[in-house]
Amino acid sequence: MAVITIDGVRLEVADHANVLECALQNGIYIPHLCHHPDLPENGSCRMCIVEVEGQEGVTPSCTLRAKDGMVIRTKTEKVNKLRTLALELLLAGHPEDCSTCPKYGNCELQTLIQYIGANNARMRVRSKGIKMNEENPLLTHDMNRCILCGRCVRACNDLRGVGVLQYQKKDMETYVGTLHDKLLKDADCRFCTACAEVCPTGTIRDKVQLLTTNMKKEDALVPCRYACPAHTDIPRYIRFVKEGDYDAAAAVIREKAPFPHVLGLICTQACAKECKRGEVSEAMSIREIKRYAAEHDTGSYWKGKGKQLPDTGKKVCVVGGGPAGLTAAYYLRKQGHAVTVKEELPTVGGMMSYGIPSYRLPRNVVADEAKVIEDQGVVIETGVRVNQPVGLLKEYDAVLMATGNHMGVRLPMEGKDLPGVHVNIDFLRKASMGIETGIGKRIIVLGGGNVAFDCARTAKRLGAEEIHLACLEAREIMTADDEEVEQAKEEGIFVHPAQTFERITGTDHVTGVDFMNLKRFYFDENHRAITEKEEGSEHHIDADTVIFATGQWSELTPECGLQLGKANSIVVDQKTMASSVDGIFAAGDVTYGTKSVVQAITSGRDAAVQIDLYLGGDGDISEVLAPEQVKNPHIGKQEGFGYLTAAKKQVLPTEERQDNFNQYDFGICDSDICGETSRCLQCDLRLQIHPSRLWTEYSNEQKEVQA
């Protein structure tokens, strides 16, 4: 150890420690620009100069090493003058108008000017004349604002090991850029954005600024994790899969959701829609990576090793065995409560078992993951319908209604009640249970979401000869996954976007549907659908069967004793998820409408938290299942990284899949999974970089008074 004195303050520090860091860590502010705690020092900015007793001249404190007995002064007349001169020389080539800079108010250079009191009035001001580069994805390069602190170069070369950014020279001006001014993709940039994180002036900055997002920094920088309704740590499990530790990857997923395999097959991938990799080439195949982890998981990190609190003596009844109900039951049991699930249908799973077709979601996958919940100690009763949930409070301390939306909607249009007209839920349930559906050979499905395509593709597998799918939405705004649309077309299903449904024709039975083309379709400020039809575009499609796939309602009625809202949904307090009856809570589709399995899982987790609190628990359902992960910041260079595209899935040819309900999509193969995970930008690595501290954050410092 060494004892040093800085401005009269005695400090005990490690021998040969960085003096600047010693000062900063002890609340003593020394001005600096080129210094960053995660980067090697270069001492170029001359802001951190100090005088050392017994030594001539001044020394950058960032390169000064502590020695026992060293006496350091940071604010002498000489230091102040030289520091001011150095700053004024920097300002001579920097734009004067700070107010137009996106980093205004959060710029280290700006606060340093305020601290030192320098200005560029004494220096000859010059314009660098370097054109701002906005051609790269994710990042803007505005080298007119560069002060050559070198942080970005050191971050790219030393911290990340990529080596894309270097000092360049053009027309007597030095700037930071790629060799031959290549675009970042062509220079093999890894788009880790560490350069933007360490830049003190906004010279290299994110195209999407935090100030405009109203989001927390960690959410904006790792959008996949934020966009996931369950907030699963996606970069973490992708990294585990890349390392070949599939058990750890699956454990990460199970920390937030008890259905990793189900989600790996049918998740709607809100995460991938926000994936930054998509702005570089193609978004990560997050769902497929999750699936791969789940399918290769042996359970070594979670089977029999998760949380299980002692029994509390409290009893909870969950009405409905879909993803929301099962998830809530699982976590409530882990909190020590006795939980019983009452399900009306022969098996649990809800729409996972009776809505999503088995060619997309094999029933054994649902059964296996439901078995984990049952093995946790949850009692499951099937074939039980609950009409009066209030009566359950005589036996249970709390009740959760998670009954979902199992009633299809018929649009109020002519012909809606003709024989041959079906609704989505009834049709898909019958098909799932092997019951005769009653459809004919020529089918029209009305609707443009995934459920509509499930209906159309199921009809194809049941032997329908001609299938049309029509919807109000234009193709680019259809809610169905692009993959669903394209695979349906491959199977011979005719897709008709931007159509109005005028009437279902027929007298004793359906004969077809009359349509008109839509010029425009939107919702007004009152959420009413507005349609603008194309005059003279009336046309007819013959059919003997029409399937409405235009929405789903809850089957609940006012007789259930709970306050109901739109579409028979249960009205709940948005924070506590409590219904109008004390002790009864609600979660999932029955509270907010039909959405997705992952949203239902998240709602089930939230309900478990609130019910546990209601029963006297702490509401903490979190658990750590996966091991600690070492995140190596030195990612290195990878040739052609920016141009890597998503791995192709193994999908059976059309002729082998369209006439049966067997699984046809087998995901990413073993030989491709490492390559796919290697495409990840690892956005979360940026959160490991220490944020810069401004001088205003140091309590013992005031603005310097210049001599």
Mean local confidence (pLDDT), 384-394: 96
How many helices (H) and strands (E) in the chain? 23, 25
With contact defined as beta carbons under 8 Å apart, do 468 and 543 qualify?
Answer: yes
Say how far residue 209 (Cα) sits from the centre of its chain: 17
Q: Which residues of 14-26 are buried (b: 16+ CB within 10 A; e: fewer)?
A: eeebbbbbbbbee
Mean local confidence (pLDDT), 259-281: 96
Mean local confidence (pLDDT), 138-161: 94
Residue 83: CA count within 13 A, CB half-sphere:
29
Instruction: Give the C-alpha separation, 557 to 568, whole Å.
Output: 7
Instruction: Give the C-alpha separation, 362 to 326, whole Å.
Output: 18
With contact defined as beta carbons under 8 Å apart, do 186 and 660 qualify?
Answer: no
pLDDT at position 211 is 61
Beta bridge partners of 60: 49
CA-closest candidate to residue 498, choices 518, 513, 482: 518
Q: Does the pLDDT at position 64 exceed 70? A: yes
Output 460 or 44, whichever has higher pLDDT: 460
Residues 6+ apart with CB under 8 A from 453: 445, 469, 480, 484, 485, 488, 493
Instruction: Give the C-alpha separation, 619 to 372, whole Å.
Output: 22
pLDDT band at 102 (very low <50, low <70, confident <90, very high): confident
Q: Does the pLDDT at position 60 exceed 90? A: yes
pLDDT band at 122 (very low <50, low <70, confident <90, very high): low
Q: Does the pLDDT at position 126 exceed 90? A: no
Instruction: Give the C-alpha separation, 693 to 27, whole Å.
Output: 11
Mean local confidence (pLDDT), 413-436: 97
Q: Does the pLDDT at position 707 exceed 60? A: no
Q: Which of 61-70, 124-133, 436-445 has the lowest mean pLDDT?
A: 124-133
Q: Does the pLDDT at position 83 exceed 50? A: yes
Instruction: Give the C-alpha separation, 95 to 507, whole Å.
Output: 77
CA-closest candidate to residue 104, choices 24, 210, 195: 210
pLDDT at position 134 is 94
- The string of pLDDT tens digits covering residues 22-45 is 999 998 999 999 999 999 998 888
pLDDT band at 706 (very low <50, low <70, confident <90, very high): very low
CA-closest candidate to residue 369, choices 302, 451, 421, 416: 302
- The string of pLDDT tens digits covering residues 624-682 is 999 999 999 999 999 999 999 999 999 999 999 999 999 999 999 999 999 999 999 99
Greatest alpha-carbon pair distance for the chain in Å reads 107
Three-state secondary structure readout of 428-483: HHHHHHCCCCCCCCEEEEECCCHHHHHHHHHHHHCCCCEEEEECCCCHHHCCCCHH
Instruction: Give the C-alpha separation, 242 to 229, whole Å.
Output: 24
Say how far residue 348 (Cα) sits from the centre of its chain: 28
For strands 584-586 and 466-470, give the pairing. unpaired
Identity of the amino acid at 574: Q
Element (DSSP H or E) covering residue 14: none
DSSP helix/strand/coil, 577: coil
DSSP helix/strand/coil, 230: coil
With contact defined as beta carbons under 8 Å apart, do 445 and 468 qualify?
Answer: yes
Mean local confidence (pLDDT), 581-602: 97
CA-closest candidate to residue 400, choices 367, 378, 377, 426: 378
- The string of pLDDT tens digits covering residues 339-360 is 999 999 999 999 999 999 999 9
Percentage of the chain exceeding pLDDT 70 = 97
Q: Which of 145-149, 239-243, 618-622 has the lowest mean pLDDT?
A: 145-149
Structure-token pair, residue 288: 């497929």
pLDDT at position 93 is 76
Structure-token pair, residue 702: 């005031």
Instruction: Give the C-alpha separation, 586 to 143, whole Å.
Output: 55
pLDDT at position 172 is 80
With contact defined as beta carbons under 8 Å apart, do 7 and 23 qualify?
Answer: no
- The string of pLDDT tens digits covering residues 516-569 is 999 988 888 887 888 899 999 999 999 999 999 999 999 999 999 999 999 999
DSSP helix/strand/coil, 337: coil
CA-closest candidate to residue 497, choices 526, 518, 483: 518
- The string of pLDDT tens digits covering residues 480-505 is 999 999 999 999 999 999 999 999 99
With contact defined as beta carbons under 8 Å apart, do 323 and 403 qualify?
Answer: no
Mean local confidence (pLDDT), 693-697: 78
pLDDT at position 432 is 96
Q: Does the pLDDT at position 274 exceed 90? A: yes
pLDDT band at 123 (very low <50, low <70, confident <90, very high): low
Mean local confidence (pLDDT), 609-634: 97
pLDDT at position 513 is 98
The whole-chain average pLDDT of the chain stands at 93
